[in-house]
Amino acid sequence: MGFPYAYNSHLRCSRACPARPPYGLTCRASAVCRASAGKRDTRPKRDTSRVFGPCRGGPRSVVLGAMPEQPAMRTAPRSLPLAGHAVPLLTRPLEFLKTLPAFGSLVRIRIGPGDAYVPCEPALFRQILKDPRVHDKGGLFYERGREAVGNGLVTCRWDDHRRQRPLMQPSFDHRHINHYAGLMADEIAALMRTWRSGDVVDIDRAMATLTLRITTRALFSVPADHELVAQVEKWLPVLMDGFFRRMFVPARLLSLVPTRMNRQYPRAIAEMRKLTEEIIHEVRRKKGQDPGLLASLLNARDEVTGDPLGTQEIFDQALILLIAGSETTATALGFTFHLLGAHPEAGARLRDEVDGLLGGRTPRFEDLSGLTFTRQVLMESLRLYPPAWMFTRATTTACELGGHEFPEATTFLLSPYILHHDPDLFPSPETFDPDRWQPGGMSEESRRSVLPFGSGGRKCIGDQFALNEAMLAVAGIAGRWNLSPVTDRPMRPIARATLKPGPLPMRLQERLRQPVRKATITDLRD
Ligand code: HEM
């Protein structure tokens, strides 16, 4: 038995803090700790750490006369009985998440009757992603996700993933990515042909249509006709919203609140499934022509048994790719055009780069490496507004993380948004500053902490696909059009299953005069 009460001392600041003292010293000198010193102390009365000043690394409980215990874990304040933190997570999730690092490098939140743990430090975040066998796809996000969209590559567990990923990976290799760039350029050009100077267009919606058309053409070799686009536009938002709500509020409770979104959720799942079936039917009909990812899945054979993939498995993969391939890139593009509209000087710099390199022609895959500032703008947009702003993991076995022991089936809630907005990693984190992405513009640790595509064995399979698509769209559109916001109203990101900008009405102005540029060998080949 140790001493009958515990005291907390700041023996070690476990955060990645530049002023982190060696083990055994207090970390009160740290700017991080000083910054949080004014914050309200929400710890239980018995906690005497205020004597030492609050510490973002979290107080470390030591029982006198005994071996040190696990560091104390703080729970985010204002948890309600039964609901836990469901209210802030549903109503102002981004603001809520940004408050968490003040409570430690690993913070407990309550979701309904259960707990989830939020890593607020990049090293812990990466540690979880590095080990998908222990930290498997599970927890609220992926459990509800599987119910909504099935067991495809995004949602499946480690066991299935080992078999599924090698089947899909070849469709995302360099050879294919290059080919997709041509399709992307065609679709971007087709979108711009529908635009008229002076029109006001909802860029959020336009980008959703564009990325959906690109996904179905590139991955399924099926062009998305008007009807398909209209149906996805109608049902996908209902599905994404419903699935997000069900993470925090039990479905039974939601069914008692007959809002339109709640009533339509089962229908949205059914309609999205019907659309996917139609796509698969179309691919089967065109058997032999145009090999795409879906066609190669239809022809795939299990390495051991030689059996083809089951109908359900193909179906789940198709539905998930349809959503993952279009929704995230669309919102990334929406945020990027919003940022360029709100920062005209960055918009002008980007146009200069595009004009200088392309001189008015459509960008191609080979041009992407020369579009340095365009890439910086995109990366900064993904830092500020990561479309996959939150996801979960569940432990498959007992494990240790950040000095704490966790039992099997513990949920971790991971939010790249928290890391991307950490002032220790990114000075003035809310400022749009593409120059952070210049060489030497940020520390290696900061760069490694920008994780819009995740990391480790479950990293996004479509990261290069998405980056190329987004760069071709931004450069292609900026070369021909000026997009300016029509309202001063601040954009408020909407955090649902993905982070979305909401409607973005922008006025289109065709750029008439292109700067003249000397012809190059590349131009002569055209
Ligand atoms: C800006 C666009 C995109 C963003 C921000 C994004 C983000 C992510 C993130 C964060 C993950 C990992 C989730 C986790 O670890 O729990 C992921 C996985 C995945 N993404 Fe993306 N994604 C994007 C575009 C795409 C595209 C274009 C495709 C397909 C064409 C795609 C397909 C997938 C798939 C299949 C997975 C699961 C990979 C696996 O577990 O092996 N994504 N994405």
- In sequence order, the β-bridge partners of residue 100 are none
pLDDT of 522 > 60? The answer is no
Most confident of 298-302, 320-324, 385-389: 385-389
Nearest to 46, CA basis, from 77, 108, 4, 76 = 4
Look at 214-223, 327-336, 367-376, 445-454 and tell me which has the smallest mean pLDDT.
214-223
Three-class SS state of 524: helix
Look at 80-84, 275-279, 414-418 and tell me which has the smallest mean pLDDT.
80-84
Look at 40-54, 304-318, 342-356, 388-402 and tell me which has the smallest mean pLDDT.
40-54
Higher pLDDT pick, 469 / 525: 469
Residue 9's pLDDT is what?
Answer: 27
Write out pLDDT tens, residues 156-170: 999 999 988 988 898
Write out pLDDT tens, residues 95-143: 999 999 999 999 999 987 789 999 999 999 999 999 999 999 999 999 9
Pairing of strands 399-401, 404-406: antiparallel
Mean pLDDT of 325-343: 97
Residue 222's pLDDT is what?
Answer: 85
Question: pTM for the complete prediction?
Answer: 0.85
Side-chain-side CA neighbours of 204 within 13 Å: the count stands at 17
387 Cα nearest atom in ligand 1:
5
pLDDT of 289 > 70? The answer is no
Higher pLDDT pick, 362 / 113: 362
Whole-number Å distance, alpha carbon 416 to ligand 1 midpoint, is 13
156 Cα nearest atom in ligand 1:
40
Q: Where are the alpha helices (DSSP H) in 100-157?
A: 122-130, 139-149
pLDDT exceeding 70 applies to what percent of the chain? Answer: 83
- In sequence order, the β-bridge partners of residue 113 are none
Please tell me the distance from the alpha carbon of residue 192 to that of residue 186, in angstroms, as a whole number: 10
Instruction: Work out whether the CA dihedral 142, 146, 148, 153 comes out positive or negative.
Output: positive
| Residue 507 pLDDT class (50, 70, 90 cuts) | very high
Give me the residue label for tokens 């997009």: 483
Pairing of strands 499-500, 74-75: unpaired
Most confident of 112-126, 219-233, 245-259, 281-295: 112-126
Mean pLDDT of 332-351: 98
Nearest to 321, CA basis, from 432, 134, 127, 172 = 172
Ligand 1 pocket test, pick from 460, 467, 499 with the greatest ligand atom count within 8 Å of Cβ, gives: 460
Residue 520's pLDDT is what?
Answer: 53
Q: Which two tokens stand for residue 457?
A: 């064995």
pLDDT of 246 > 50? The answer is yes
Residue 29's pLDDT is what?
Answer: 30
Residue 107's pLDDT is what?
Answer: 98
Task: Report the binding-site residues for heme.
Answer: 460
Ligand 1 pocket test, pick from 157, 297, 328, 383 with the greatest ligand atom count within 8 Å of Cβ, gives: 328
pLDDT of 303 > 80? The answer is no
| Residue 18 pLDDT class (50, 70, 90 cuts) | very low
Residue 86's pLDDT is what?
Answer: 92
The chain-wide mean pLDDT, for the chain, equals 84
Residue 7's pLDDT is what?
Answer: 26
Whole-number Å distance, alpha carbon 454 to ligand 1 midpoint, is 8
Q: 199: which residues sit within 8 A by CB, 6+ positions away? A: 507, 508
Identity of the amino acid at 218: A
Residue 40's pLDDT is what?
Answer: 35
Task: Give the domains, in start order, of the chain with CATH numbers.
Answer: 1-65 (no CATH), 142-393+456-525 (1.10.630.10)
Q: Output DSSP code: residue 64.
A: T
CA dihedral 128, 416, 349, 179 (to 10 degrees): 60
pLDDT of 292 > 60? The answer is yes
pLDDT of 526 > 50? The answer is no
Residue closest via CA to ligand 1's atom 6 equals 453
Mean pLDDT of 9-17: 33
Give 375-379's long-range contacts (Cβ < 8 A, gap of 24+). 375/437, 375/467, 375/471, 376/434, 376/435, 376/436, 376/437, 376/438, 377/336, 377/339, 377/340, 377/346, 377/350, 377/434, 377/474, 378/332, 378/336, 378/467, 378/470, 378/471, 378/474, 379/434, 379/437, 379/450
Compute φ and ψ for 168, nearest 5 degrees.
-95, -30
Mean pLDDT of 242-269: 85
N-terminal to C-terminal alpha carbon distance within the chain? 81
Ligand 1 first shell, C-beta below 6 A? 153-154, 161, 165, 219, 321, 324-325, 328-329, 332, 387-388, 391, 452-454, 458, 460-462, 465-466
Identity of the amino acid at 121: E
Q: Output DSSP code: residue 340.
A: H
Instruction: Work out whether the CA dihedral 190, 192, 193, 195 comes out positive or negative.
Output: positive
Chain Cα centroid distance, residue 381: 12
Please tell me the distance from the alpha carbon of residue 353 to that of residue 478, in angstroms, as a whole number: 10
Residue closest via CA to ligand 1's atom 16 equals 391
pLDDT of 515 > 90? The answer is no
Identity of the amino acid at 313: E
Give, for 6, the enclosing helix (H) or strand (E): strand 6-9
| Residue 509 pLDDT class (50, 70, 90 cuts) | very high
Please tell me the distance from the alpha carbon of residue 238 to that of residue 323, in angstroms, as a whole number: 13
Helix axis angle for 311-342 and 260-285, nearest 10°, is 120
| Residue 293 pLDDT class (50, 70, 90 cuts) | confident
Residue closest via CA to ligand 1's atom 31 equals 462
Instruction: Work out whether the CA dihedral 89, 91, 96, 97 comes out positive or negative.
Output: positive
Whole-number Å distance, alpha carbon 227 to ligand 1 midpoint, is 26
pLDDT exceeding 90 applies to what percent of the chain? Answer: 65
Residue closest via CA to ligand 1's atom 30 equals 325
Higher pLDDT pick, 291 / 128: 128
| Residue 408 pLDDT class (50, 70, 90 cuts) | very high
Whole-number Å distance, alpha carbon 462 to ligand 1 midpoint, is 6
Write out pLDDT tens, residues 479-495: 999 999 999 899 999 99
> From residue 428, how far is each of 105, 310, 332, 378, 431 by CA, in Å?
20, 50, 21, 18, 6
Look at 42-46, 345-349, 374-378 and tell me which has the smallest mean pLDDT.
42-46
| Residue 501 pLDDT class (50, 70, 90 cuts) | very high
Nearest to 294, CA basis, from 220, 213, 183, 212 = 220
Q: Is 218 left (phi over 0), alpha (psi -120 to 50) or beta?
A: alpha
Whole-number Å distance, alpha carbon 332 to ligand 1 midpoint, is 12
321 Cα nearest atom in ligand 1:
29
- In sequence order, the β-bridge partners of residue 165 are none
pLDDT of 62 > 80? The answer is no
Residue 365's pLDDT is what?
Answer: 95
Whole-number Å distance, alpha carbon 356 to ligand 1 midpoint, is 32
Please tell me the distance from the alpha carbon of residue 7 to that of residue 26, in angstroms, as a whole number: 14
Residue 94's pLDDT is what?
Answer: 98
Do 336 and 491 form a contact (C-beta atoms < 8 A)? no
Whole-number Å distance, alpha carbon 421 to ligand 1 midpoint, is 21
Side-chain-side CA neighbours of 62 within 13 Å: the count stands at 10
459 Cα nearest atom in ligand 1:
12
Identity of the amino acid at 34: R
Residue 181's pLDDT is what?
Answer: 94
Do 416 and 386 form a contact (C-beta atoms < 8 A)? yes
Mean pLDDT of 331-340: 98
